[in-house]
Structure 1
């Protein structure tokens, strides 16, 4: 496994930990039709944090596990900042981790 894959794997663990710390980790997945959205980030069927948990994290974990080519352009932190502006909870702990993944993938 490459150093970049290992670094991404570690940040994915930290993203999950941040979601759990913020009590945004869900124990039940959304219905299959919600996960099958064709809209970017499944905006029509999932919240941002659901997208992270049920689509982004599993896809990235699979890519790391398979040592597949990783995305070269990632701007998830800015999406998180926008999402959390309208929320009662501060997502700063999560945003910090998303900035790390953005930096790794864009670097």
Structure 2
């Protein structure tokens, strides 16, 4: 499987994990909240909101445009800090996507 396909599958797994954890929002956040310049938009968004409204769309846009994907990704530590043991499937999905993005050849 190509790296792009692995990332696409990882994005889908992450979305499903957010939905299964009932952390997926049906209504969008404000433009002001999305304009944050802080890491993970910690001043305006929760981590699930950042994942849904910034991280997933940005990675999807890069894939669709054929643009280079990030190669140094470390979102899982923030997820572990935020969720602790409360959301193991969500943390695992994030860690798996981190691994795919951070591997030079797309293999784990």
Shared topology, TM-score over 0.5?
Answer: yes
Residue 96 of structure 2: which of 96, 100, 105 is its match? 100
TM-score normalised by structure 2 residue count: 0.91
Cα deviation code 1:73-101 (max 9, x no counterpart): 1111111000013xxx8111111111111
Unaligned segments of structure 1, at least 5 residues: none
Corresponding residue of 2:16: 17
Distance in 2, matches of 1:39 and 1:49, equals 15
Q: For structure 2, which runs of at least 5 residues remain unmatched after alignment?
A: 104-108
Q: How many residues align?
A: 103
Contact 1:5 1:67 in 2 (8 A): no
> TM-score by structure 1 length?
0.92
Counting only pairs closer than 5 Å after superposition, residues 8-47 of structure 1 correspond to structure 2 as 8-47=7-46
Q: CA RMSD for the aligned pairs?
A: 1.3
- Secondary structure of 1:25's partner? coil
